[in-house]
Amino acid sequence: MRVRRRKTAICDSCGKEFIPVEAETICILCRYKKMELSNERYVVFLERMVERLKAGLNFSYYNCDEIGAKEFYCSWGKCSRDAEAWPDAEDHLWPDEFIKRGRVAPKYNTLRNFCPFDRRVSDHFSGKPEIARSPDGCFYRCMIFCAKGSLPTRKEAILLYEAQIVRARKGG
């Protein structure tokens, strides 16, 4: 029996060898990295949100409780669907869709690019990385959606954002 060797290619982005599907020029890891929000863009987002909070951004949130549908957003969080929170096309998964239709679809988070309202932030920086890396989405650890008691005030939100900016500038 003859074993057929698959053709390989060199990734245009990282230079590593990979097995392409059709006419691919970059490997799957580099393709996924292009879908992640860089630390630099994350800091820009955080700084923009501090400015917006200080300027009086209204607080609103929505949690769909319909079975089979999971839709939620918060005007003060990273899950904001507000185009003013994400005005730069480079921060979107589909920049052309944002430019043409205003579709807000921010790039994916890296392990360190938490929303300031995500309780995993404190777990990540207090030496409990196993909790911080849990597969649960941010919704299940959100100070807004899982609030037991009062929601964060504007002043508390600004402090959370500013603390996250300091962490992100240090490299997370």
Domain count, the chain: 2
Q: What is the mean pLDDT of residues 49-78?
A: 88
Q: What string of DSSP letters covers 70-136?
A: --EEETTSTT---TTTS--GGGBSSHHHHHHH----BPBP-TT---TTBTHHHHHHTT-HHHHT-SS
Does residue 44 share a domain with residue 4? no
Q: Give the Cα separation of 81 and 103 in Å (integer).
A: 9
Q: What's the predicted TM-score (pTM) here?
A: 0.78
Q: Which residues pair with 36 in a beta bridge?
A: 108
More confident residue, 169 or 120: 169
Q: What is the mean pLDDT of residues 41-51?
A: 96
Q: What is the mean pLDDT of residues 128-152?
A: 67
More confident residue, 130 or 13: 13
Q: Is residue 88 part of a domain?
A: no
Give me the domain span that covers residue 165.
Answer: 38-80+110-169
More confident residue, 45 or 148: 45
Does residue 43 share a domain with residue 30? no
